[in-house]
Amino acid sequence: MMKISFIIPSFNVGGSEFNFIKKANYLQDSEFIPELVYWLEEGELQKHIKPKVSTKKIKASNLIYLLFELINYINKSKPEIVHTANYMIANIVLIAKLFSSHKPKVIIGAESDFNAVCKASKNLIDEFILRSLSKFFYHRSDKIISVSKGVKKGLLEELKLKESKINVIYNGVLTEGHTQEFSEMPNHHWYGNSEICLVCAIGRLSPEKGIYELVAAFSKALIINNSLRLLIIGKGSEENRIKKLIRNNRIEKYVEIIEFKDNYYAYLDNSNIYVLNSFYEGMSNILAEAATTNTKIISTNCNYGPDEILQGVSESKLIDVNNERQLVDAIIEFSDKKKVKRKYSSGLKKFYFEESIKKYIKTIRELSS
């Protein structure tokens, strides 16, 4: 039996956290022993963990403490493979391996644009540290799994890694028969109202997701078409700033923010328009899910992922990053309230969980052989 330790900060809502939980749930029924290791608060996603999957909380109030805790964990638990998906945490894991007596194979999950993540650092010192550590330590990893071709290209350019070190495995966000989950009508007063055109945005309310800019653009689209409504599903650091913008623009009756929902699929499928307004992505899970619904899609053509996901997907539109005029025009263009009858796009096959987990298991078996 091979032990695989997935290292994540917390069980709060996030794409990489949920993908790790899905992998762990699947692997516990095979020849692997998965364990989810975290150090911050427990969160919404914890209820999705199957009973047989082990969780381990370590105590770490900062990155220095985390380093020592990981050294201790690796030496005691002796996992054959350690997998993490945060660029800075990956460096800490690689340093921990360096100072551990036990030497597990280390997999880094590359889930977003490395250069954009560096530029989004709190200050120039933090950016310098992240870039410097990554350039020095990433070549010591055993495998990097990139969620898109674009993310791989960015890593090769920024860190000068060998191409053979990076495998592209798309996040397995879709499952066979998943569309059955979309059938229910959400319990919200806007759904089922044929008089309005419902725009939906789902995700963490953080600066890179562009929700603040979406609200600003929506308020201008509303002047042209007052049947529009905007439902934002998510929480995050930008929430108060976004709410202040809503109040200042006096559009409280037209925009609502609600907490993340387990059945967000139903909200997505029963909306008229889904908008991804990110400044950067790696591979947006929800955008791939939206491509299987009958909802019109507007997405920024950001680095990286949206162009790969939406290739061949009808009634979808790519716009420039941080271009308010294009966003307003796209919302107005798609606001005719007509639902799409979208045909299956063969390009979405790579986003199915069954395809993704098959490639993942092949990768970890090759590492252990």
From residue 337, give the alpha-carbon distance in Å to each of 160, 317, 342, 353.
48, 16, 15, 32
- pTM for this predicted structure: 0.83
Which helix or strand (DSSP H or E) is residue 202 part of?
Answer: strand 197-202
Per-residue pLDDT of the chain (369 residues; tens, 9 = 90+): 899 999 999 887 677 888 899 999 999 988 899 999 999 878 778 888 999 999 999 999 999 999 999 999 999 999 999 999 999 999 999 999 999 999 999 999 998 889 989 998 889 999 999 999 999 999 999 999 999 998 999 999 999 999 999 999 998 888 766 554 555 788 899 998 989 999 999 988 999 999 999 999 999 999 999 999 999 999 999 999 999 999 999 999 999 999 988 788 889 989 999 999 999 888 888 898 898 888 999 999 998 889 888 988 889 999 999 999 999 999 999 998 676 777 666 678 888 899 999 999 999 999 987
DSSP H helical ranges for the chain: 15-27, 63-77, 87-98, 114-119, 124-137, 149-159, 211-224, 239-248, 264-269, 285-290, 306-309, 324-333, 353-368
Which amino acid does the sequence have at 337?
K
User: How confident is the model at residue 343, as a pLDDT?
Assistant: 67
Structure tokens at 218: 């929506």
Q: Domain 178-345: what homologous superfamily? A: Glycogen Phosphorylase B; (3.40.50.2000)
2-172+352-368 CATH: 3.40.50.2000
CB 334 within 8 A of CB 369: no
In whole angstroms, give the CA distance from residue 301 to residue 215.
19
Which amino acid does the sequence have at 311?
Q
User: How confident is the model at residue 182, as a pLDDT?
Assistant: 53
Please name which of 14, 34, 15 lies closest in space to residue 24, comparing C-alpha atoms.
34
Q: Tell me whether residue 265 is exposed, middle or buried, using C-beta atoms within 10 angstroms of its C-beta: 0 to 12, 13 to 18, 19 or more.
A: buried
User: How confident is the model at residue 181, as a pLDDT?
Assistant: 52
CB 20 within 8 A of CB 8: yes
Please name which of 69, 70, 111, 64 lies closest in space to residue 87, comparing C-alpha atoms.
111
What are 212-232's pLDDT values in tens digits? 999 999 999 999 999 999 999
User: How confident is the model at residue 359, as a pLDDT?
Assistant: 95
The string over 68-85, giving b where at least 16 C-beta atoms fall within 10 Å of a residue's C-beta and e elsewhere, is: ebbbebbeebebbbbbbb
User: How confident is the model at residue 99, as a pLDDT?
Assistant: 97
Are both 2-172+352-368 and 178-345 of the same fold?
yes
Q: Which residues contact 123 (CB under 8 A, 6 or more apart)?
A: none
User: How confident is the model at residue 261, as a pLDDT?
Assistant: 81
Domain residue limits, the chain: 2-172+352-368, 178-345
In whole angstroms, give the CA distance from residue 301 to residue 319.
6
